[in-house]
Each structure stands twice: as structure tokens, then as C-alpha cells.
Structure 1
Amino acid sequence: MGKIEMNKQEKASRLLKSAYQLFLKQGIEKTTVSDITHNAGVAKGTFYLYFQDKYQVRDCLIAHHAGILFRSACEALMKEDLPEFEDQIIFLVNYTLEELGKHPELLNFISKNLSWGIFHKALLFAQLPQPEVDCLSLYDALIHSNPDVHLKDPDIMLFMIIELASSVSYSTILHNDPIPFEKLRPYLNMSIRSIIHNHLVTD
């Protein structure tokens, strides 16, 4: 990577770091592009060389942090003896939610904004710093590591699991509302198993 390219990457990283700090502190809606660039110490015009708006920054940040979480979950899964595909998915979901529970500020940020489309949108812009970990590639690798499992519309299956887990876990983990997450977990797991079963192709 040349010096010019390294400088571009460094500025983009500063903008992402600045935005993340501000999003956590005051929320996305109250954060302006001017706030982000001022905090990053770069000119406002520089922002638009990398991002269309603050929502694209949000999408990249979520893809980045979700990717790190998912990689950690996959590494933990490799140490477990879970030969069944649906048990592997359940493990990944529970591990990720437990890790988010240890970092409430990240849970607050991700759970309010996480959606399937974000992963696709964040990868559409080649000029942006790409996530160190691509969640979709890891998911595809997991499917391919289970050759006996045949899924109908695996992308839709993942979309439904992400939407379900992110929507029901937020208040239970952060506020024990309406019940603590540990009481909710068995029902969440059953619902995820049901989603998986509905997408299994049987001969």
C-alpha cells in the first residue's frame, strides 16, 4: 500500500472512530457530519470523499463491530463439540448476545441499528475501509462446513434470525424487561430452531 493510500485509510479510520464516539455519546440523530469531522480533526469536505452521509458511517461501524463479534463466536465454536448445524447456530447467537451483554454501550448501538441490509450496504462501497471480518463470508463457510445440511434461501434464514435475536434481546439484556435474558433464552433458542427447520430441504 502506497503512502497516499495509507493516508486515505488513516483519514477514513479517524472519521469512523470519531463517529463511533459521538454516536455512543449523543446518538446518531443528534450527531452531525460537522461534529464528526471536527472531532476527527479533518475538513468537512474530506468526509464526503469516503461517505455519503452519517448513516453510511453507521452501517460501516455496525458491519465492523458485528464482524468482530461473529469472528470471536466462530473461534469459540471451533473449541466446542457441536456436530449439529442448528446447535452451531444457537451457540453463535448465544455467544454473541452474551458478549454484547458485557458491553452495554455496544449492545445499545448495535441492537438499535442492526439489520440484514446493513451488511450488504456496507460492502457496496469499495473505497471504504472494509471490515476486518466479513460476516457473510463466515456464514457461508459455516454452511459449507456442514455438507449434509441443505438450506432453502439461507440468506432469508439468517435475516430472520438476526432480526429476531436483535429485537427481543435488547431490553431483556439491558433492562431485564419484560424478563431477564436467561429466562428468555430457551424461548429464543426454540424460535431459532423453528426458523432453521423451516429452511431445511429434506429429500
Structure 2
Amino acid sequence: MGKLETNKKAKEDSLLMTAYKLFTTKGVTSTSVSDIARSAGIGKGTFYLYFKDKYDLKNRLVAKHSARLFKTAMADLEKSGRVLDFKEKIIFIIDSILDQLNENQALLTFISKNLSWGIFKNALTAHSGTDEIDFLSIYNEMLEDAPRKINEPEIMLFMIIELISSTCYSAILYKEPVSLDELKPHLYRSINDIIDRHMTNA
């Protein structure tokens, strides 16, 4: 990477880090492009060389941090050295991601408020940064290892993600209706049921 590219990357990283700090302390609505540029020590005009607006930057942050959560979960799976079947792998990855969010509740709040299915898909299939990995390829490999064919795998994944996001936010932040550890067995039984319903009988 040449000096120009290095400087460009440094400015982009500065904007991303600064915006994340402001978004997680002040909120997206209360943070302006001027706030981000000023805090990053970059001219407001320069901001628009990297992002269309603060919402474009916000989406990039959601994608970046979502991909990082998954990357860490996959590293945890590899380090464990365990041989798991399809459903066990799904649960292991989810368990790792939930533990990461439990440890970083500011990130949980930021992602849960700003994550949509479209952004999630882009987060896990795009390659705009070194933190991102090809989730789609990994997911397809996992599907190939399933004991039976999975019907409508994207809908299955969507249902699992919606279930997790709708139940775990309150459990992590407020321990309502129970703590995350108490919720996990119920959550994982439901996820197993979702997977079973999407498996063919053949």
C-alpha cells in the first residue's frame, strides 16, 4: 500500500472510530456530520469523499462490527477443536456472538437499534475491509454438511436472527424476563426447532 492509500485509509479509519464513539454515546440522531468531522480532525468536505452521509457511515459501522462478531465466533470455533454437527455449529457461533455482545453492551445497543436484514446480509457477504470475511461461503459449506437438505436456508437464517435479536436484547441489558444464561437453553431449543422445520424429510 502506497503512502496516498495509507493516508486515505487512516482518514477513513479515523472517521469510523470517531463516529462509532459518538453514535454510542450521543446516538445517531444527535450526531451530525460536522460533529464527526471535527472530532476526527478532518474537514467536513473530506467526510463526503468517504461517505454519502452519516447514515451511510452508520451502515458501514454496523456491517463492520457484525462481521467482526462473526469472525471472532468462527475463530472461537476453530480454537475449540471440537467436531460438531450442523446444528451444534450454529449454536456454538450464536453462543459466542451473544457472549461478545454481553461483554460489550454499547455495541449491542448500537447494532440492535440499527441492524436491518439488508445491512446484515451486506455485512456478512461484502469484502470492503480486512475485518470482513465471506460468511455466505461459510454458511453454504455448513449447509452442505447438514444431515438433510435445508429448505429455504435464507429464511431459516432470517428467522434465527430475528428470534435472537428480539429475545436477547432485554435479557442482556435488563435481565428481563431472565438473565442471558437462563434464557440460552430456551433460545437454543427454539433455534433447533426452527432448523428441524427447515430440514427435508428425505
Q: Same fold (TM over 0.5)?
A: yes
Going from structure 1 to structure 2, the CA distance change for 1:141 and 1:5 (only over 3 Å counts) comes to farther
User: Could you say which residue in structure 2 is the equivalent of 1:154?
Assistant: 153
TM-score by length of 1: 0.87
On the 8 A contact 2:15/2:40 being kept in 1, the answer is yes
Aligned length: 200
Cα deviation, residue 187, structure 1: 1.7
Task: Give the fraction of aligned pairs with identical amino acids, expressed as a percent.
Answer: 44
Gaps of at least 5 residues in structure 2 are: none
Conserved 8 A contact 1:123-1:130: no
* Preserved CA contact (<8 Å) 2:153 2:198: yes
RMSD: 2.3
Q: Distance in 2 between matches of 1:171 and 1:57?
A: 27
Instruction: Select the structure with the greater relative contact order (CA < 8 A; seq sep ≥ 6).
Output: 1
1:112-151 equivalences in 2 (<5 Å): 112-121=113-122, 129-130=128-129, 132-134=131-133, 135-144=135-144, 146=145, 148-151=147-150
Q: How does 1:41-120 map to 2 (within 5 A)?
A: 41-78=41-78, 79-120=80-121
Corresponding residue SS for 1:50: coil
Is the 1:77–1:92 contact (alpha carbons within 8 Å) kept by the matching residues of 2?
yes
Point out the more displaced range, 149-158 or 94-103. Answer: 149-158
Contact 1:115/1:162 (8 A) holds in 2: no
1:166 matched residue in structure 2: 165
- Residue 116 (structure 1) shift: 2.5
- Please say if residues 67 and 123 of structure 2, whose CA atoms lie closer than 8 Å, have aligned partners that are also in contact: no
Distance 1:179 1:100, change over 3 A: same
- Using the size of structure 2 for normalisation, the TM-score is 0.87
How far off its partner does 1:201 sit? 2.9
How far, CA to CA, are the matches of 2:176 and 2:124 in structure 1? 34
| Unpaired runs of at least 5, structure 1 | none
Q: Quote the Cα distance in structure 1 between the aligned partners of 2:140 and 2:41.
A: 39
Task: Please give the secondary structure, in 1, of the residue aligned with 2:69.
Answer: helix
Residue 25 (1) aligns with residue 25 (2)? yes
The 1-side partners of 2:100 and 2:41 are apart by 32
Q: 1:155 to 1:131 in 2, by over 3 A?
A: farther
